[in-house]
Structure formats: C-alpha cells, structure tokens
Homo-oligomer: A and B are copies of this chain.
Amino acid sequence: MRNYKIAVIPGDGIGKEVVPVTMDVLNHAAECFQDAAFTFTEFPWGCDYYLEHGKMMDDDGIEQLEEFDAILLGAVGDPERVPDHISLWGLLIKIRRSMEQSLNIRPAKFFKGLASPLADPRDFDIMVVRENSEGEYSEAGGRIHRGQDELAIQNAVFTRKASERAIRYGYQLAGERKGKLTSATKSNGIVHSMPFWDEIFKEVSQEFPNVEATQQHIDALAAFMVSKPHEFDVIVASNLFGDILTDLGGAIMGSIGIAPAANLNTNGDHPSMFEPVHGSAPDIYGQGIANPLGQIWTAKMMLDHLGEFKMGESILDAIESTTAAGIKTQDIGGDSSTVEVAREVCDRIKF
C-alpha cells in the first residue's frame, strides 16, 4: 500500500468549497483502487488567516510544506479585503518561488458535454508549459519622480537557465505527444527578452530533431487559440504569456472553472503544487455553485506526478463522463451543485 502525504491549502473563496470535495474524490479513488492511500494535512492559510495573524502563512510555512509528497491548493485572493500583492505574493507566488516550482503545466482539452463558446470546437488537446519563476512577473522595478513626471519601470528578467528549462520541457513533452511545439513570442515588439527566448528556442530545437518547432507572436497565437485550437499540441510560453493563453484555454473549453494546473518542481527537491487555473471568485463563494471540476482535474495531475497514472486516468474519465451526462454546475450550463457534481464524479470512477 502506497501512502501519500498531501498538504492541503483550500485558501480563499470557492477554494474552500472545491478542495474538500476533491479530497472526497481522491479518497474514493483510493478505495476503488485499494493500493494507495492519502493522508491529508490541512493548512488554514489565506486571507482570513492574514486578517487574524497579519501574515498569509506561518513564518516557517515553507518548511512545514517540505515534508509532503505534494500540495493541493484551492485559490488565493480576496481583493476587497486584502490587497492582491499581499495575498498572492504572500502565499501562491511565494510557494511557487520558494519551492522552485519553475514550470506551470496546464492542459486545454475539448470535452464532450461541455458547451464550448466556439461554433466548431474540433477536438483540441493542448498542453501549455508556462515558465513559472521569473519573466514578466519580477519584483525588480520601481517608480521615480512625482506628479506629472512620475513613471514606473518594470523589469522582466529572463535567465537562460529558466527559459531553457521551460523550453526543453516543452520539447520533451511534445516528443511524447504529437511532436509539435509552438513557442509564444513577441520579438517583433519586445526587443530584448523575446529575441533571447527565440534564440534559446532555436538552440534547444537541435536536441529534438523529431519535434516540429514553430514560433508565433502572442497576439496571433491568442487569436489562433480561438480560430484553430485543434492545430496545436504543446505550447511553451513565458510566465505572462502562459497565464493569458491558459485562461484562453479555459475559455474555449467552456469555462475557466474546469482548467487545472500543475506547478512542477522539476529537480525533485521540493514538493510540487496542484491548483486550478480559476481564482477564488469571492462573488459566488458560499452558494454551493462553484464548479469543482478544475480542482478535481488538478487531483488527476497530482496523481500523474506521483506516478499513479491509472488512478489519474480514472478520474479524468469520470470527469468527462459526468459532463457528458449533463451533470454540471451553472457556469457550464447545468443546475447541479458543487457537491452533486463531485459525488457524480466519485460514482463514475471505475477501477
């Protein structure tokens, strides 16, 4: 019997609704398969915690997380009560960076039974590999002058190490899939960081002669996510471009509520973290209507990461068959509750 220690951080808003039902799904899957079990340890970190303790997580929070096999995160943020730069940088981005979760992997996949806003959503199946540690999300920068002369400078920092890591992972993944890798760039307008990124993309291509490598400017690529998503296989992108493309991925699937993400530590020296692409949606929190599928799908990504591929597959199949059966939350055109959808997924897990 394999036993996995999972750190659970429901976080804010609907994170507190979709995380508990996802633990149920995982427990249920474990019961079905009978060869693995999960020990969940919950951490109450988030905006409530901040308002009580003046910090988003314990001072030694990162150390506390080290001993786990993986981290399951709900959502972070409650901007009406706590500014984003405190909540996100004090918890979500802090964990991503402190634990060197340098890649963020996000699928966008056509689902039967999900009403895509696209008229002709031909079977698309995209994996976005997003650089997760630097790039446009850099703390370097600041302001100068006051009044009419005030200006802000924001430094995007692209290291060869981090760019190469993301790009190489993209090539590897493409090699294991359909063999097509697209790099998101904007080197025609952004003249220092993106040409550097393009150079590395080209260099690393030498190691993968069997992968068909193309680059697209982010503006065109965003448009293609809408006009011909079925033409893509793996897309590798910087932190910001990956962020935008994966929300678009959620949109063409039919709801951002269904899209999952894996924050991967590729060295294996810290745990990886699994979180949905959607945010905490404080506006719908507490009504029992949040779509749990994004979070449940993160559980499948977590299982893949732990090597429990069959269990992971069974969860994804159960998600697909649940949506195909029309058991859906409001955001995707159904009238089932968070709990009902999760229960249905449990019932459909097959050994």
- In the complex, the answer to whether B193 meets A152 with C-beta atoms within 8 Å is yes
Partner of A119, one of B89, B118, B139, B147: B118
| Contact between chains at A247 and B220 (CB < 8 Å) | yes
CB atoms of A243 and B189 under 8 A apart: yes
A30 at the interface (CB under 8 A from B): no
Task: Say whether B223 contacts A152, CB under 8 Å.
Answer: no
A90–B239 Cα distance when bound, in Å, is 29
Return chain B residues, CB-CB under 8 Å to A137.
Answer: 189-191
Chain A interface residue count, Cβ-Cβ cutoff 8 angstroms:
66
A148 with B120: CB separation less than 8 A: no
Pairwise interchain contact A191-B222, C-beta atoms closer than 8 A? no
Contact of A154 among B192, B224, B243, B247 (CB under 8 A): B192
Chain B residues contacting A93 (CB-CB under 8 Å) are 189
Nearest opposing residue in chain B for A241, CB measure? B244
Contact check, A192 vs B143: say whether CB atoms are below 8 A apart. yes
A243 proximity list for chain B (CB < 8 A): 186, 189, 218-219
Q: With a CB–CB cut-off of 8 A, which chain B residues contact A170? A: none
**A226 an interface residue at 8 Å Cβ cutoff?**
yes
A interface, CB within 8 angstroms of B: 77, 84-85, 88-89, 93, 115-120, 136-137, 139-143, 147-161, 186-197, 218-220, 222-224, 226-227, 239-240, 243-244, 246-248, 250-252, 256, 279
Please name the residue on chain B nearest to A193 by beta carbon: B154
Nearest chain B CB to A148 CB, angstrom units: 6
Cβ of B84 and Cβ of A187 under 8 Å apart? Answer: yes
Cβ of A223 and Cβ of B154 under 8 Å apart?
A: no
Nearest-neighbor residue (CB-CB) of A158 within chain B: B152
* Contact of B227 with A117 in the complex, beta carbons under 8 Å: yes
Quick one: which of B153, B159, B192, B222 contacts A193, CB cutoff 8 A? B153
Most chain B C-beta atoms within 10 Å of own C-beta, residue among A142, A188, A224, A251: A188
| Chain B, Cβ-Cβ closest to A118 | B117
A160 to B156, CA, bound (A): 20
Known: A84-B188, A89-B191, A220-B279. 17 other contacts (CB 8 A): A77-B188, A85-B195, A118-B226, A136-B136, A141-B193, A150-B196, A151-B157, A152-B158, A153-B155, A153-B192, A154-B191, A218-B244, A219-B244, A219-B247, A222-B244, A226-B226, A248-B248
**Is there contact, CB below 8 Å, between B222 and A222?**
yes
Most chain B C-beta atoms within 10 Å of own C-beta, residue among A93, A240, A246: A240
* Least Cβ–Cβ distance between A161 and chain B, in angstroms: 7
